[in-house]
């Protein structure tokens, strides 16, 4: 049980860190533009590959998603030159 929690925490932190620069870049683009969508979706395949590699069940996707969304949000908040 402890092993899965450590792995889950690691994947969530990795999703958070991976999404920080994309959240930052996302705020430099017009909302709902092609690049805006691209910056949201580029990290997803890497997170999925990491989840498959570590053999984590699909039931833990919501926890990993929270880390990814938090990374996007904080990365966007770090950018002071936002486009509305």
Q: What average pLDDT does this structure show over 56-64?
A: 94
pTM of the model: 0.90
Tracing tokens 């991976």 back to the chain, one arrives at: 18
Q: Measure the CA–CA gap between 58 and 44, rounded to whole angstroms.
A: 14
Q: Measure the CA–CA gap between 19 and 71, rounded to whole angstroms.
A: 5
DSSP state, residue 29: S
Q: Locate 61 and state its tokens.
A: 């996707």
Please state the domain extents for the chain.
2-78
Given a cut of 70, is residue 14 above it in pLDDT?
Answer: yes
Q: Give residue-wise pLDDT tens across range 21-56.
A: 999 999 999 999 999 999 999 999 999 999 999 999
What's the pLDDT score for residue 1? Answer: 79
């Amino acid at each position: 049980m402890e092993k899965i929690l450590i792995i889950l925490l690691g994947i969530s932190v990795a999703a958070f860190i991976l999404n920080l620069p994309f959240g930052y870049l996302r705020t430099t683009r017009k909302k709902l533009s092609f690049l805006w969508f691209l910056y949201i979706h580029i990290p997803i395949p890497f997170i999925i590959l990491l989840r498959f590699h570590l053999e984590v069940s699909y039931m833990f996707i919501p926890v990993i998603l929270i880390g990814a969304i938090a990374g996007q949000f904080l990365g966007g908040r770090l950018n002071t030159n936002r486009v509305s």
